[in-house]
Structures are given as structure tokens and as C-alpha cells.
A and B are shown apart, each in its own frame.
Chain A
Amino acid sequence: MKPNVTSISRRRLLQTGAMAASFAAMPGLAMRPLFAAEALSGSITMIKGPHSADEAKFEAMIINDFKSVAPEVDVAFTTYDWANMNAELTTGFASGNPSDVLYLVDLIYPAYAKQGALHDMTALVDSPDWAAERAHIPEFAWALAKQGGGTWGVPVLGAVYNIFINKDLLAKAGVLDSWNKSYGDMMEAAKKITGNGTYGFSARTRTGDFAFWDWLPYVHNAGADLLNDDWTACGLQGAEAATQFLIDMHQAGVTPPVGSMSTQEQFDLFKAGRIAICHGETPQIGELVANSPAFEWDVAYAPPGEKGQTVMGNFGILSIAEASPNKDAAWAFIKHWASGPQVGRFAEQVNLQVVRDDIVANMFANSPAMQKVQQDFVPRVKGIQPHPQILKMLQSIWPVAERAYRGELSGAATIEEMCGIIDGILKQ
């Protein structure tokens, strides 16, 4: 039964492809054939980490809309636990029966692509009937999805790590306009504000919080990155001064005691008006909009470094499992999920950024902060280098930074030790 179904749907897909090509010239009609997947049938599952306590509800909306695209396809949605995503995904793949559609973050996507767990989607994303959609996703995002000569997924969402500022505190210290001109200005502002249980600055410091997200923009601003350009050796040389600056910030007494608070606790303290410059992430904007704090706040990013002013961001990628028996339906669902109306609505619901650039102007009409992030921050995003062992590298070097933040190492010694670890991993 199964091979029959797929062969029919393949033929049908080819037909729609041909139709799409002929309709492509007519505006307005070009979209329709893309999603004409009426002939598909069967059931597929999608797995994703939750971006909201209401994740299942939001996914149900997307799945419900998919019914009008492919009425014969049933989509079941499940979640993985972020803290254990690798355990769940790995065993899912190993079971031979993984979810058909997988939402993977860029931190782990390369490893699964390399191990052959994902379906090579190069032909799918390059097919002419999807070319218009493909063009809405910028090249830097596609570059991230490329691994070993193939494309294994469609980049859909971005999660930007921003800074929250308490404008009242900054204004009172007279540094509202100057605090982010340079690292020195930020230090000075933080020092002026700190006192009486109020802190000038905070960044993630705990391993469990993936604290490296708040260190990386400073590294990138110095023109450095974890690896050199061809990924053959450590590329952190150049980030010594930037790392020294963060060490100084944590040693200057302008932050909560190093490691005493999780990122959640830091944000709670920010909401209480007791942190002026607080590293965070954009989904927290929703919380500030819903329960507005007793002060003026805004979103910002780190001051410029020697080589630029970047913003850290992660990407979420939709992939198809190589073991999926119903790849046609899975691809149809990914196209649906990644389409402007669907991904746009979801991003608004959970306060994340979209990767596609055609819907940005209309998004977050009610949230100036999110608009600012989407329009001003996203173009500045410099993500991670998608090396298959990037997670291992980041997790292995972070303990060095933890010692440095506690005053045990200088910036130069930190970078040297980190490079030793990274080069060691590359050699294995």
C-alpha cells in the first residue's frame, strides 16, 4: 500500500511543479500551486522544543490550517524537553522511528546532519516551484543550513539575545545616551548605578544557562570567533581584550555575585528595577509587555568592539528525518509551517524572530520593542559557526570562562586555555 501512495503523490507533485512553473509569471496565482498537496495522505509527526507554555495550542493552529492544504494528512505534534533535547532526539533517531519533521536548533543540527540522520533536502529546497519562497530566506541563513555539500533543513525562526535596559536608572545616572558608546562607557555607567542592592550590569554566567551566548557578541565584536575561517584551528585570538572586559565587569562588583543567579533570576531582578543593563532574550519581551514594570525599559545590544557591533542569535531549522516513511507529506508540512502567515503568526505568539524577510514589515504591530529587534537587531545577527562539534567546544571551554569571571585568569590566559581545548577537539 505504502509504495503506491508515495508513487502517486510523487507524480502529483511533479504535476504541481509543472503547474507552478507555468503560473509563476502571474502574480497572485504563484502561491497557490505550492501548497496544492490535496493528494498527499497518511500521518506524520513533528517534534519541537516548546517556546511557550502554550506551544501545543499554537501548533494546533498551524496543523489545523494545514487541513485545508492537505486534508488527508494527519499531523501529530510532540515536544522534547530542551534540557534533554539531545537524549530525546538521539534515541528517537536510534529507534528507527523518529518524528518525520524535526525542529532543530543550529547548535545540534550540524551533528545530526553529519551523522546521516537527516534527509538531504537540497533538491526540495532548490526545486523551481519553491523558488519564490526560498528567495525570501536570506543567504546567510541558507549558509547555516548547508552541511557537507547538502542542505538538510529550512531555517525558519531566530532567537535573538538582546540586552534589556532600565531607562529610568540610566537616566538618573545621566548615562542614558552614552552607556553604549563603548565598553568603557558601559563600565562607567554600571559603576555609577550599582549600590543599595541595585546592579549596573548582568550577563549569564551559569553552564546550565548556556552562558556563552552572552560572551559571544563581545568575541564577535572583536572580529574573532570560535574557529578560524576554514575551521581548522581555534579562531579566538583577538578576543583577549573583550574577554578581559567581561572579567573586569564581573570583578568590579557591578553584577550580582558571579554564578549566584540563573538568567531567569537575573531577569526577575531586572523587572524589579534592580538591574540597569541586563542580558536576556527576546521572548522575555512578551513578559514585560504583559506585566509592564514600574519603569521605562527598552531593548539594546552590546557597545561596538574593535571590529563591529553584532548581536548573538540562534536559528531554528525544520528538517525531515532520513528514516521518515512519508517525506512528501513532511515536506508539504514544512513548506506550510515556513510559509509567511504561519511562521509569522507563531513568531508573534512566542516573541521570536522570523528568518524570512518578506513579512517583517507587518509583524509585531503592537510591540515596538519586537519591531525594533526584528528590523534593527536581526540584520546584525552573527550566529554560531555550524561545526558538527560546536556544542562540545562551547561546553568544554565555558568552565575556563567561569574561572576567569571569578578572577582566576586574565583575558589572554583565558583565550589561550580555550584555544588549547578547541584545538584538542579538532585533532580528535
Chain B
Amino acid sequence: MPGTSELIRARRRQSLRRNLTAYAFLAPALAMFVLFLAWPVVMLFIQSFQTGGVMGPAKFVGLANWRQIFSDDLVRQTIFNTLFYAAMAIPAVFIIAMVLALCLNAIRIGHTPIKTILYFPTLQPILIAALMFTFVLHQDFGILNILMRAITGEPVNFLGNASLAMPTIAMVEVWKGAGFWTMLFLAGIQGLPRDLFHAAELDGAGPLRRFFELTLPLLKPTFFFSVVFATIVNLQVFDSVFVLTDGGPANATATTAWYIYRSLFSFNEPGYGATLSFILVLVVLALTIVQSFWFREK
């Protein structure tokens, strides 16, 4: 039947054209992705079986780097520290940002200036944020220690106390990040269907009930995006650790990304750094997958 084959051919042509169009749209971004992300990752993978390779020639060492990872106590500690940090920073910044977003949603005058000021810390390079917190945390006249002395009579050794150092790093990151998440949550809240709230209000639901029974459930997609995004970003925490504590005291703030940097540029061990990078990617991936299942079930 010539008609059918004609049809098939036409369909094929059509599908070919469809594919070509789609790939034309994708091509520029894909080219950049392959060249500057996928290819470096492949190189990284090869590097994890090598030693040297940055200044001198690389040498294959088989699984030596991978074996070393499993006997290196510091690797375990950095993974623990990183997760500990994320477990503090993400819930804290989410709760604060949600409260600020709800407040912004409830006011009418002064929206723009308040939003701009709240976003200010987010715009600061960490170097500058770290300098500011050197003042804020100072034991004699940092504002936080002035407050602590007023409340408890004792200054707090924020960065020097091994059990407080990581919470302090988290505090700086929360200060920096709150503005960004506030904007995101505010956007989510203002995008919710208004009629529902109106109806609930007419039914006599109070503001708390409206928040827990309407706002929160409706914001689930926002939360999913935010939790995944925040996990990915926060598990890579490096800058603030590097400038504020350099991993100390006693490795209390040594994060995996910090250890990667140190392996690469202090210890001259690019192969080990590459292997560590893969460990970090695996941890992030595992968490992302767990999160997506968790959100799907709920």
C-alpha cells in the first residue's frame, strides 16, 4: 500500500524535523554543559585513579585513592560535619524565611524597602560577610557578645569552642541566605489561589489554622524545589568555613568541600581531591533521591 508507506515516510520526516528543532534549541546550552561540566566530571573520575597530574605527569595508582578514603577518619568526620551543618542551617533558614515571608505578605506599606534590606546580606560575597562577623562575634564588643554578656554575664567563644563553631558557621550562612529564601517563599505564598483563603476565612478559620491547613500544604511544590535546591547548595558549604575557621578548631568545621580544597591546593593531592569530590556527589545524590521519595509519599 503506497499510501501507508507515504504516510510513514511523512511521519518520519515530521519526527526527524521535530527532533532537529528540539535539538537546535538545546544545542547551545548542551555544548556548554558537555564542555565545562560533563567533561570535567569525566576527567575527575579518571583523576580519582591517579596521583599527580597537575604540574607533573599523572600516574595511575589503581584503587589506592578510593582505599585511602575508607581508612581516612577525616573523611568520615567531614561527611558528619557537613550533614550536621545542613541539618542546622536548612531548617533554620526555612523557618526564618517563612516567618519573614508571611510578615511581608501581611503588610502593605514599606514592602519594597524592607524586601531590599532583607535581601542585602544575600548579595554579599562571603569574604565581606566574614569580615563583618569578625566584628559581630568579637568577645569584647561584638554585638552578639554584648547581648550574651547582658543575658548570661559571660561572653561566648563562638568560633573557638569546638561544639559552637559549626553552629556559628550555620548562623552566618543563615544570615546570608534568609533573604533569598524569603523572596522565594513570598513568591510562593502570593501565588496561591486567593479564593480558597477567602472561603476559609468566611468559614471562620483563624490565621494559624489557615496557615497549617491551607498555606503549608499548598506550598508543597515550593518546598520540594527548595529542599532539594538547599540540600545541594548547603552540602557544598566551603567559603564561610574557609575564611572563618579554616576547618578548626580540632576539625570541628572541616566540611567535605573544604577537605577537597585542602587536598587539591595544600596537600598537592589532586587525585585524592577528585576521589573526595565523587564521595560528595554520591552523598548529595543519595539525599536528593531520599527527599524526592519522601515528598512523593506525603
Q: Which residues of A are at the interface with B, using a C-beta cutoff of 8 A?
A: 83-84, 86-87, 90, 93-94, 111-112, 115-117, 205-208, 256-262, 265, 389, 391-392, 395, 398-400, 402-403, 406
Q: What are 10 A-B pairs at a CB distance below 8 A?
A: A87-B261, A90-B264, A94-B55, A207-B246, A207-B247, A258-B157, A259-B157, A261-B160, A403-B162, A406-B162
Output the least CB separation between B209 and chain A (Å). 47
* Most chain B CB atoms below 10 A, which of A90, A93, A395, A399: A399
B226: which A residues are within 8 A, CB to CB? none
Output the least CB separation between B146 and chain A (Å). 15
Q: How large is the interface on B (under 10, 10 to 19, 20 to 34, 35 or more residues)?
A: 20 to 34
* Most chain B CB atoms below 10 A, which of A93, A116, A207, A395: A207
Beyond A115-B55, A392-B267, is A258–B262 a contact (Cβ under 8 Å)?
Answer: no
Cα–Cα distance between A159 and B251 once the two chains are bound (Å): 28
Knowing that A115-B52, A389-B267 are A-B contacts, what are 4 other residue pairs whose CB atoms are under 8 Å apart, sorted by A's residue number?
A: A259-B249, A260-B139, A392-B266, A399-B248
**In the complex, the 4 A-B pairs of residues with the closest C-beta atoms, listed nearest first:** A259-B160, A207-B248, A208-B246, A402-B250
Cα–Cα distance between A406 and B134 once the two chains are bound (Å): 22
Cα–Cα distance between A399 and B249 once the two chains are bound (Å): 7
Contact B266 A259 (CB under 8 A): no
Is B115 on the interface with A (CB-CB < 8 A)?
no
B249: which A residues are within 8 A, CB to CB? 205-207, 258-259, 399, 402, 406
* Most chain A CB atoms below 10 A, which of B55, B160, B251, B268: B55
Is B282 on the interface with A (CB-CB < 8 A)?
no
Cα–Cα distance between A260 and B154 once the two chains are bound (Å): 13
Q: Which of B55, B159, B250 meets A406, CB within 8 Å? A: B250
B 238-283 contacts with A by CB, 8 A:
242-243, 245-251, 261-262, 264-268
Q: Which of B134, B243, B245 meets A207, CB within 8 Å? A: B245
Contact B248 A115 (CB under 8 A): no
A258: which B residues are within 8 A, CB to CB? 157, 160, 249
Contact A90 B139 (CB under 8 A): no
Output the least CB separation between B272 and chain A (Å). 10
Cα–Cα distance between A262 and B248 once the two chains are bound (Å): 12
A117: which B residues are within 8 A, CB to CB? 55
Q: Which of B138, B248, B268 meets A208, CB within 8 Å? A: B248
Contact B54 A90 (CB under 8 A): yes
A208: which B residues are within 8 A, CB to CB? 245-246, 248
Contact B265 A90 (CB under 8 A): yes
Cα–Cα distance between A87 and B262 once the two chains are bound (Å): 10
Cα–Cα distance between A260 and B155 once the two chains are bound (Å): 10
Interface string of B73-110 (1 = CB under 8 A from A): 00000000000000000000000000000000000000
Cα–Cα distance between A352 and B264 once the two chains are bound (Å): 30
Contact A395 B266 (CB under 8 A): yes
Q: Which of B161, B242, B262, B264 meets A259, CB within 8 Å? A: B161
Cα–Cα distance between A261 and B56 once the two chains are bound (Å): 40
B267: which A residues are within 8 A, CB to CB? 389, 391-392, 395
B251: which A residues are within 8 A, CB to CB? 399
B 199-241 contacts with A by CB, 8 A:
none
Find the B residue at minimum CB distance from A323. B55
A406: which B residues are within 8 A, CB to CB? 162, 249-250
Contact A391 B160 (CB under 8 A): no
Cα–Cα distance between A83 and B258 once the two chains are bound (Å): 13
Q: Which of B52, B157, B266 meets A260, CB within 8 Å? A: B157
Output the least CB separation between B127 and chain A (Å). 10
Cα–Cα distance between A398 and B247 once the two chains are bound (Å): 11
Contact A260 B159 (CB under 8 A): yes
* Most chain A CB atoms below 10 A, which of B134, B162, B245, B264: B162
B 53-78 contacts with A by CB, 8 A:
54-56
A395: which B residues are within 8 A, CB to CB? 262, 266-267
Cα–Cα distance between A258 and B134 once the two chains are bound (Å): 16
B266: which A residues are within 8 A, CB to CB? 86, 391-392, 395
Cα–Cα distance between A31 and B3 once the two chains are bound (Å): 99
Q: Which of A93, A257, A259, A389 meets B248, CB within 8 Å? A: A259
Contact A256 B265 (CB under 8 A): no
Cα–Cα distance between A65 and B14 once the two chains are bound (Å): 74
Q: Which of B243, B246, B250, B268 meets A90, CB within 8 Å? A: B268
Beyond A116-B56, A406-B249, is A259–B159 a contact (Cβ under 8 Å)?
Answer: yes
Cα–Cα distance between A84 and B54 once the two chains are bound (Å): 16
A111: which B residues are within 8 A, CB to CB? 268
A256: which B residues are within 8 A, CB to CB? 139
Contact A86 B265 (CB under 8 A): yes
Find the A residue at minimum CB distance from B160. A259
Cα–Cα distance between A257 and B245 once the two chains are bound (Å): 16
Contact B160 A260 (CB under 8 A): yes
B261: which A residues are within 8 A, CB to CB? 87
Contact A257 B250 (CB under 8 A): no
A400: which B residues are within 8 A, CB to CB? 250
B250: which A residues are within 8 A, CB to CB? 399-400, 402-403, 406
B 25-75 contacts with A by CB, 8 A:
52, 54-56
Output the least CB separation between B276 and chain A (Å). 15
Cα–Cα distance between A83 and B139 once the two chains are bound (Å): 24
B159: which A residues are within 8 A, CB to CB? 206, 259-260
Cα–Cα distance between A326 and B151 once the two chains are bound (Å): 65
